[in-house]
Amino acid sequence: MDLFQKCFQFTQADEIRDAGLYPYFRPIATEQDTEVIIGGKRLLMLGSNSYLGLTNHPRVKEAAKAAIKKYGTGCAGSRFLNGTLDLHLQLEEELGEFLGKEAVLLYSTGFQANLGIISGLVEKGEYAVTDKSDHASILEGCKLSMGETKRFRHNDMGSLRRVLERLPVDVGKLIIVDGVYSMEGDIAPVPEIVELARQYNARVMVDDAHGLGVLGETGAGTSEYFGVTQDVDIIMGTFSKSLASLGGFAASCGEVIEYLKHHSRPLIFSASISPPNTAAALEALKILREEPERRGWLWRNTRILHDGFKSLGFNIGTSQTPVIPVYVGDVLKVFQMCMMLHEEGVFVNPVVPPGVPPGRSLIRVSCMATHTPEQMNFALEKFEKVGKALGLI
């Protein structure tokens, strides 16, 4: 059979387009801000991961411009060879100090960070132990490793214990969880995970892509939120959410970072994070630390949406964060709801299988620090209108 046969037979996207319900790849013609313009129409952006609203901050943009002026637009090589800048080292140092970790290593994307950390550390005869709701990049990192993957039920510590009990005590084990789950919006019980790791001779890695800048007294993420920074062995994060850029990182003890520098193939064989992206993330980190009030604004908006959705009768599951799933269940209704909200002036993200389990399709809502209460109330009015029209509430 022709390799391309499956491509020629793929018609689902066209069928959804023909029905006027295709919600993907909508071209945004403005900056990623609280409002965006798509096809000449202004929409309230409730689908962005820019939790602190820094992607359009003047200081962040100026830092990126200054980096281009000094370093050019790219590094033309990997960190391992010719692609390490003093700017990379500065960001690694400041991130390490902020997160409370000895050393940090930058990757070109968050996805590559998970690929590189997991595949670099988990070898043949060792185990990666993952939550069933972990991000796709974690699963791909496990596949790329030579070790075996074991999964436990989402945030179920009894399930995790049973998995660990079945593994040999004297082999390497890495428990990997999201700090904040990107679809459910709930938080991993990291202290309980750390305690189980101690009992069963395992290490702990937290993917804090959606926790950095959101949780913790200073915004340092899930580990800080629970007060277990020193007990979490590896903190992974991204720059594409709160830090208004593109890239990822691993934060750990010096020995682990040194090992990854020389064994992590996605690092060694990929071009470095670009100068403007590095400078933008560094400046965003400075603003995060200087302006704690942004987290206050973010949580104000989060409370408005949480309370509003619940009072309207929507099911938002166990969300505890600015990531808010509005559960719909039926795939077709998710697409209908997404496009009806688009027509009403609200941009949201539809999430259907395999992104979520069958029957758990949802509208993913996420708010930003720079949204106003008036914008939050506007969104709730539109959700009420569309929800009633679809018979959801």
* The one catalytic residue among 173, 210, 342, 382: 210
Query: Could you name the CATH architecture of 8-45+292-389?
Result: Alpha-Beta Complex (3.90)
CA neighbours within 13 Å on the CB side: how many for 174?
Answer: 29
Q: Do the domains at 8-45+292-389 and 58-290 have one common CATH topology?
A: no
Q: What's the full length of the chain, in residues?
A: 393
Q: Which of 363, 369, 329 is nearest to 346 (CA)?
A: 363
Residues of the chain above pLDDT 70, percent: 100
Q: Which two tokens stand for residue 165?
A: 């009990």
pLDDT digits (tens, 9 = 90+) for 278-335: 999 999 999 999 999 999 999 999 999 999 999 999 999 999 999 999 999 999 999 9
* The one catalytic residue among 88, 135, 150, 241: 241
Q: Which CATH class, in words, describes the domain spanning 58-290?
A: alpha beta
Q: Which of 381, 387, 324, 341 is nearest to 21 (CA)?
A: 341
Is residue 210 annotated as a catalytic residue, yes or no? yes
Strands 323-329 and 361-366: antiparallel
pLDDT over 90 at 62, yes or no: yes
Q: Which of 215, 243, 226, 291 is nearest to 94 (CA)?
A: 243
Is residue 342 annotated as a catalytic residue, yes or no? no
pLDDT over 90 at 178, yes or no: yes
Domain layout of the chain by residue ranges: 8-45+292-389, 58-290
pLDDT digits (tens, 9 = 90+) for 245-291: 999 999 999 999 999 999 999 999 999 999 999 999 999 999 999 99
* The one catalytic residue among 50, 133, 182, 242: 182
Q: Which of 313, 314, 325 is nearest to 362 (CA)?
A: 325
pLDDT over 90 at 53, yes or no: yes
Strands 103-107 and 248-252: antiparallel
Under the banding of pLDDT at 50, 70 and 90, the label for residue 355 is confident
d(Cα 238, Cα 273) in Å, to the nearest integer? 12
Backbone region of residue 125 per phi and psi (left: phi > 0; alpha: psi in -120 to 50; beta: other values): left
d(Cα 43, Cα 140) in Å, to the nearest integer? 34
| For residues 122-150, average pLDDT | 97
376-381-386-392 Cα dihedral, nearest 10 degrees: 90
| For residues 165-187, average pLDDT | 97
Is residue 182 annotated as a catalytic residue, yes or no? yes
Q: Are 330 and 356 in contact (CB under 8 A)?
A: no
Under the banding of pLDDT at 50, 70 and 90, the label for residue 180 is very high
